Structure 1
Amino acid sequence: MENRNNVTEFVLLGLTQNPKLQKVVSVVFLVIYIISVVGNMFIMVTIIVSPLRSSPMYFFLAYLSFIDACYSSVNTPKLIFDSLHERKTILFNGCMTQIFGEHFLGSAEAILLTVMAYDRYVAICKPLHYTSIMNWRVRYAMVSACYAGAFLHSFVQGLLIINLPFCGPNEIDHYFCDVYPLLTLACTDTYRVGILEIILASATFNEVSRLMIILTSYVCIIITVLKMPSTGGRHKAFSTCASHLTAITIFHGSILFLYCVPNSKSSWLMVKVASVFYSMVIPMLNPLIYSLRNKDVKAAVRKLINTNLICQLMINVK
């Protein structure tokens, strides 16, 4: 493969070419971005400053909120900025950085959701050993494994793309730099040189392995819960899993939808919509899912707000 690269920047075609719709897009995604960042940071701070931080479940939730706040910041600010301008360009290095950030944070979230499924399995199926199994050392080791696995995945993806020759055209039919749109612009047969096969095999293996772990964990959880003698115990066990089940269903559902969409120009709009959903909408929904359905989080939020109000009143009195 000849290593030549005459492209210094790429042109992003965005979500729509309609100027009026672009203004609407900028406003809508600005609201989504603010809600996502503020909501996730608020959940993270609430857990850190409350007794909830000692619980493994909320320990992982704090990291999930941090990842979501960062994840929504990879592409959304650029999309908002581009929606206000006619010409949408991104430098080659900026494009590679965007790909790395997208895959790193997306993979970190997917792995962390898998870890949280295992945490629920231990909590429900091995309640007497839960604290000893999910001790602080294990928690930090799991979070470190999330970041290490995500870094390895994104590094490999970026390495395969950055070494491809690009000699024109340079228009990307997307609102951000992604692997598959860039593969169509490479001045080589990516299938022939094996790059497309490696990327597809890696993505499929990662997704299938994570789903198998999640599915196995919840099968064990369901079996254990159904064996519980009391209805109240079964309800409590299922309620602790409800938020996580909702989050993984939405996240992996949107990813599986991308696998099912046929690879054609007519279906590319659906790919863009699905990309918006898992990279922008889901990070915004997670704080709502975990706060609205969780009594402990709502209680911690109320306590934090009341404490701040009391402190503010004391300052005003002084």
Structure 2
Amino acid sequence: MTNFSKEMKSPFFLNGSQNETQTQPSKQGMETQNATSLMEFVLLGLLKHTKVHTVFLAMILLAFITALTGNALLLFLIQVDSRLHTPMYFFLSQLAFTDIAQGFVIIPKMSADFLIPGNPISVTECGVQIFLMMTMGGADCLLLTVMSYDRYIAICKPLQYPILMSRNICFLLTAVVWIGGSVNALIHVAFTLAFPHCGSKEIDHFFCEIPALLKLSCSDTSRYETTVLVSGIVLLLIPSSIIIASYTHILSAVLRMRTKSTRGQQKALATCSSHLTVVGLFYGAGIFMYMRPSAYHSPEQDKIVSLFYTIVTPVLNPFIYSLRNKDVLGALRNLVGKCRVLQ
């Protein structure tokens, strides 16, 4: 026993015990490091560090500023001018808000990633980004549908318009829009972040987009892709079909107008065509993104398509829907006149 106790106190055994105690913390450190890495992604972004892409980033920032200015001006005019306190402009204000919010969710992070390559984004931040983008996207889908319904009632059933589009009904439709968009977004966030992500944590996109995230999953996502398809049918195909049907009835009613002057017909046709242009861009991009099998997705195509419904349409919406409208232009002239008087 004495010899054994001496051996235990010998430098050989002491070094061995010290090595074991030193090894354990290092393993814990490795586990902590691995756990930390699993809690972060890296967005590869849309642009590379070249002169051409730097110019392209400047164009995107200019588009963001244009969209922000146009939609913010529209919101302000709707609030201050009582002539714009109608259902149509109330829904337009909701659309303008979603366009502004989408830009703030994407553009600052994309610019930071361009300036600081490899800038990580946590899983929580990625989930928040998905939730906000899906909420705004779903709200846009439903808002465009409600707006087409509003125009259908105004043109095809003008006598029933005050009843069918009363204040309470407008608030109810708006509540349905935002609740539907947020519930759909919450479902997608819960499913998307529940999948284990193995290997690379690099998202080949400029924001946390569901198809790009699914490519990083090491488990079978086919069932969830079916859920995405069903969601696309509910929020993309059905609303777009309702919009097309509404504008078809509107065009039919306009063409049947018995009037010697064609000015009203031309105005209605121009309005419908411009609205359908925005609808085609937005829904076309959404259908192309979310209703294709994952095997047919490529990072380059997904990035280009995402540009349309996140940057291009927010720039076009205030010009096509509002700033070409005589009521909005009249409100803008009144605002400019008041500003000159105050000066």
- TM-score greater than 0.5 by the shorter chain: yes
SS at match of 2:269: helix
Give CA-to-partner distance per residue, 1:264-305, whole Å, 9 cap, x none: 688421220110121012111211223442111111111111
Larger Rg: 2
Partner of 2:233: 204
> How far, CA to CA, are the matches of 1:266 and 1:136 in structure 2?
43
Q: Percent identity?
A: 38
| Maintained 8 Å contact 1:26/1:79 | no
Q: Give the whole-Å Cα distance in 2 for the aligned partners of 1:310 and 1:122.
A: 39
Cα distance, 1:279–1:57 mapped onto 2, change above 3 Å: same
Q: Take 1:129 and 1:79, find their aligned partners in 2: how far apart are those partners?
A: 47
**1:281 is aligned to 2:312:** yes
Cα offset, 1:236, TM superposition:
3.9
Worse-matched range after superposition: 121-130 or 262-271? 262-271
* 1:245-256 equivalent positions in 2, closer than 5 A: 245-256=276-287
Is residue 2:77 matched to residue 1:46? Answer: yes
2:257 equivalent to 1:228: yes
Q: Report the RMSD for the aligned CA atoms in angstroms.
A: 2.2
Aligned counterpart for 1:97 among listed residues 125, 128, 152? 128
Q: Distance in 1 between matches of 2:119 and 2:295?
A: 23
Following TM superposition, by how much is the alpha carbon of 1:250 offset from its aligned partner in structure 2, in angstroms?
Answer: 2.2
1:73 matched residue in structure 2: 104
- Per the normalisation by structure 1, the TM-score is 0.89
> CA shift at 1:38, angstroms?
1.7
Aligned mates of 2:274, 2:251 — CA distance in 1: 15
Instruction: Report if aligned partners of 1:117, 1:218 keep a CA contact under 8 Å in 2.
Output: yes
Give deviations 1:23-63, integer Å, cap 9, x for gaps. 33432222122111121011111111102332211111111
Contact 2:286 2:309 in 1 (8 A): yes
More contact order relative to length (CA 8 Å, sep ≥ 6): 1
| Letter of the 2:212 counterpart | P
Rounded Cα–Cα distance in structure 1 between residues aligned with 2:276 and 2:143: 13
Task: State the AA in 2 paired with 1:210.
Answer: P
Contact 1:25 1:80 in 2 (8 A): no
Q: 1:23 aligns with which of 54, 62, 85?
A: 54
For 1:267 and 1:159, locate their aligned partners in 2 and report how far apart those are by CA, in whole Å.
24
Structure 1 residue identity aligned to 2:279:
I
Count of aligned pairs between the two proteins: 307
Moved more, 15-24 or 152-161: 15-24
Letter paired with 1:64: L
The match for 1:171 among 202, 210, 228 is 202
Q: Give TM-score scaled by structure 2 length.
A: 0.83
Distance 1:181 1:259, change over 3 A: closer
CA 184–267 in structure 1, closer or farther in 2 if over 3 Å, else same: closer
| CA deviation profile, 1:233-255 (whole Å, cap 9, x unmatched) | 42343344344323212212322
Structure 1 letter corresponding to 2:127: M
Q: Does 2:163 correspond to 1:132?
A: yes
Q: Secondary structure at the match of 1:90?
A: strand
